[in-house]
């Protein structure tokens, strides 16, 4: 192990501890209070009139965050994740030897235990006046030092651990030194549990379906491939849960949902990670209008549960997630933003020409559906700051959605957008096996045999549908993006603990 000067100094301190008979990595810890409990304990005692009280026999533990030595007295802060508390270390209480031991061999970043009395210092800060200080785990590598000061109610940080690459590669160090990052993943956990609670309360059954699939489907995306050696079988990592969940609806579970990871072998960007968290649900006897209501209720519920309000701040915008959300057809929205009415240009060359006439880039090799999805909707997307359902998509790009009655061009499908981000996709599910087979065949013709974004024809899925699939509404949402929204983050990497990074060297 190659060591920096700082690491060598810390190893020397560790050896000095050992020579003094101190185990720098002891097995057991005597702790009576978490730090937040300790702070509460003194406040409660004071609230009951015990002004100036000391509470003896308190033991706390945590990581050393700051050390200020003034001769024979030292102030330090430790942090255990529940909060931070000041340690008040004096020769008088600790004794000469222990005090020297601390000054010489304890460093920022070490995990320590402190035993003593809860009290307030002259400046009024709750502190542990320590009569014993114990090494719990010596840190060899120095964590980035982050100092803060309150200034007009704002926390001003001096120096920081802010290099994005190193923060993501060494998330442990990022979390250990940046409390704000820790908070993001606490919010994330609360969002996940709020989503589950919302669905559980509405009689949805949480299920788990295969990640390794012999055939991929349910989305237009390129899969990761892998191989089972003993079976000598090629397998794909799922790109969606859709086809497996709808098989369960055939199997008489009226309402199912799954939260898990999808894998898409595509570009990495501030909005895309190759592995991301998806929520899908399917509910028998609902159509896409019902699913819209569930969607707006669920998102508003999550915000209220986690942030205490359905009105959120995102990138300087105030966004109101309260139902009902605006509903507008894709055709209308595209016309308003781009001036192009795709319905009057029903072929790819005509539509491309119309788009170019409006100054929009249009790939000449693209299909009609692609031009609408990437070209027109792509222009609309950043304008959708307040929550919006874009409804009624072209049939060509929606092979699993049920047709819109009396409108051969469209299906009953919506996507929803908040803060300029696409959050999810849903439809009245196609449950007619004959129509479904026809759609698969059309997709095959549209994409050509080698295009991995095409939906391969899933015979088993068709077989399931032939047993009878009740009318149902389905829904999929990128959970990471919802969390970006609720934590005011622009990059998906800030809400995924270990985002994908290219291997170095």
Partner RNA sequence: GGGCCGUUAGCUCAGCCUGGCAGAGCAGGGGCCUUUUAAGCCUUUGGUCGCAGGUUCGAAUCCUGCACGGCCCA
- Alpha carbon distance 436, 455 (integer Å): 12
Closest CA to 113 of 93, 74, 85: 85
- Least separation in angstroms between CB 68 and RNA: 4
Q: Verify binding: residue 92, RNA, rule CB under 7 A.
A: yes
Tokens 């008040």 appear where? 88
Candidate segments 116-124, 239-247, 342-350, 385-393, binder of RNA by CB under 7 A? 116-124
Written as six digits, the tokens of 162 are 């802010």
User: What is the closest distance, in whole angstroms, from the C-beta atom of residue 354 to RNA in the complex?
Assistant: 17
Binding of residue 230 to RNA (CB under 7 A)? no
Size of the site for RNA (CB under 7 A): 59
* Minimum CB distance to RNA, residue 168 (Å): 7
Note whether 37 binds RNA by CB under 7 A: no
Q: Which of 186, 317, 363, 466 binds RNA (CB under 7 A)?
A: 363
Selected from 45, 67, 328, 335, the binder of RNA by CB under 7 A is 67
- DSSP line for 455-481: PPP-HHHHHHHHT----EEEEEEEHHH
Which residue's CB is nearer to RNA, number 180 or number 251?
180
Would you say 77 or 255 has its CB closer to RNA?
A: 77
Segment contacting RNA (CB under 7 A): 24-32, 152-160, 257-265, 350-358? 152-160
**Does 142 contact RNA by CB under 7 A?**
yes
What lies within 8 Å, CB to CB, of 63 at 6+ separation is 78, 79, 80, 109, 110, 111, 112, 139, 176
Question: CB of 70: closest distance to RNA in angstroms?
Answer: 4
Crossing angle for the helix pair 288-307 and 479-487, to the nearest 10 degrees: 40
- Which window, 29-37, 84-92, 198-206, 229-237, contacts RNA (CB under 7 A)? 84-92
| 372 three-class SS | helix
State which H helix or E strand residue 100 sits in: helix 96-105
Handedness of CA 162, 165, 166, 169 (dihedral sign): positive
User: What character string, x for contact with RNA (CB under 7 A) and - otherwise, covers 472-501?
Assistant: ------------------xx-x-------x
The CA distances from residue 86 to 39, 334, 501, in Å, are 10, 58, 38
Pairing of strands 111-120, 147-151: unpaired
Establish if 187 lies at the interface with RNA (CB under 7 A).
no
Binding segment (CB under 7 A) for RNA, from list 18-26, 205-213, 265-273, 299-307: 265-273
SS3 of 125, please? coil
The pair of structure tokens assigned to 278 is 């998806």
CA dist 166 and 157 (Å) reads: 19
d(CA 405, CA 420): 30
Q: Minimum distance between the CB of residue 79 and RNA, rounded to whole angstroms?
A: 13
If binding is defined by CB under 7 A, does position 335 make contact with RNA? no
Residue 83 DSSP code = -
> Among 125, 206, 293, 336, which residue interacts with RNA (rule: CB under 7 A)?
125
Which one, 157 or 466, has the nearer CB to RNA? 157
273 touching RNA, by CB under 7 A: no
Of the pair 124, 448, the CB lying nearest RNA is at 124
Query: Which among 51-59, 248-256, 263-271, 337-345 is the span making contact with RNA, rule CB under 7 A?
Result: 263-271
Residue 316 binds to RNA (criterion: CB under 7 A): no
**Gap between the Cα atoms of 311 and 259, Å rounded:** 25
CB of 66 to RNA, least distance (A): 5
The residues, ordered by sequence, that sit 6+ positions from 323 with a Cβ below 8 Å of its Cβ are 293, 296, 297, 300
Q: In terms of residues, how long is the chain?
A: 505
- Which two three-digit tokens encode residue 28? 């057991």
CB of 499 to RNA, least distance (A): 7
365 binds RNA (CB under 7 A): no
What count of Cα atoms within 13 Å lies in the side-chain half-sphere of residue 76?
Answer: 29
The reply on whether position 267 binds RNA by CB under 7 A is yes
Count CB atoms within 10 A of the CB of residue 244: 21
* Residues within the interface to RNA (CB under 7 A): 4-6, 9, 13, 66-73, 75, 77, 86, 88, 90-92, 104, 107-108, 121-125, 127, 141-142, 144-145, 147-149, 158-166, 168, 267, 269-270, 361, 363, 490-491, 493, 501-505
């Amino acid at each position: 192990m190659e060591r920096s000067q700082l690491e060598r100094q810390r190893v020397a301190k560790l050896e000095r501890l050992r020579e003094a008979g101190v185990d720098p990595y002891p097995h057991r810890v005597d702790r009576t209070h978490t730090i937040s409990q300790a702070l509460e304990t003194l406040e409660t005692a004071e609230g009951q009139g015990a002004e100036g009280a000391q509470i003896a026999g308190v033991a706390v533990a945590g990581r050393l965050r700051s050390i200020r030595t003034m001769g024979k007295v030292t102030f330090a802060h430790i942090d255990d994740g529940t909060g931070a508390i000041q340690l008040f270390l004096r020769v008088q209480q600790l004794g000469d030897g222990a005090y020297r031991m601390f000054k010489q061999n304890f460093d920022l970043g070490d995990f320590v235990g402190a035993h003593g009395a809860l009290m307030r210092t002259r400046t009024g800060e709750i502190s542990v006046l320590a009569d014993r200080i114990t090494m719990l785990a010596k840190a060899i590598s120095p964590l980035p030092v982050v100092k803060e000061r309150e200034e007009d109610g704002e926390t001003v940080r001096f120096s920081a651990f802010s290099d994005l690459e190193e923060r993501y590669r060494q998330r442990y160090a990022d979390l250990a030194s940046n409390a704000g990052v820790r908070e993001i993943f606490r919010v994330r956990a609360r969002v996940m549990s709020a989503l589950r609670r919302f669905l559980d309360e509405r009689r949805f059954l949480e299920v788990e379906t295969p990640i390794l699939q012999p055939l991929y489907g349910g989305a237009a995306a390129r899969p990761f491939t892998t191989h089972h050696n003993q079976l000598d079988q090629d397998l794909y990592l799922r790109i969606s849960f859709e086809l497996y969940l709808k098989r369960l609806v055939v199997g008489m579970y009226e309402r199912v949902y799954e939260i898990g990871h999808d894998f898409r072998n595509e570009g990495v960007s501030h909005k895309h990670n190759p592995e991301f968290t998806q929520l899908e649900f399917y509910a028998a006897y609902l159509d896409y209008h019902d699913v819209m209501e569930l969607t707006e209720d669920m998102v508003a519920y999550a915000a209220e549960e986690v942030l205490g309000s359905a009105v959120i701040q995102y990138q300087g915008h105030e966004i109101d997630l309260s139902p009902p959300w605006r509903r507008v057809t894709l055709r209308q929205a595209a016309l308003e933003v781009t001036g192009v009415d795709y319905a009057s240009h029903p072929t790819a060359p005509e539509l491309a020409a119309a788009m170019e006439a409006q100054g929009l880039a249009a790939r000449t090799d693209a299909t009609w559906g692609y031009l609408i999805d990437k070209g027109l909707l792509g222009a609309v997307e950043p304008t959708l700051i307040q929550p919006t359902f874009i409804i009624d998509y072209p049939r060509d790009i929606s092979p699993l959605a049920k047709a819109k009655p009396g409108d051969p061009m469209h299906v009953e499908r919506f996507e929803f957008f908040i803060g300029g981000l696409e959050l999810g996709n849903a439809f009245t599910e196609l449950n007619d096996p004959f129509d479904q087979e026809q759609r698969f065949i059309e997709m095959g013709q549209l994409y050509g045999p080698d295009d991995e974004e095409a939906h391969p024809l899933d015979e088993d899925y068709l077989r399931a549908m032939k047993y009878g699939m009740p009318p149902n509404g389905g829904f999929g949402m990128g959970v990471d993006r919802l969390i970006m929204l609720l934590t005011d983050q622009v990059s998906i990497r800030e809400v995924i603990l270990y985002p994908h990074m290219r291997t170095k060297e």
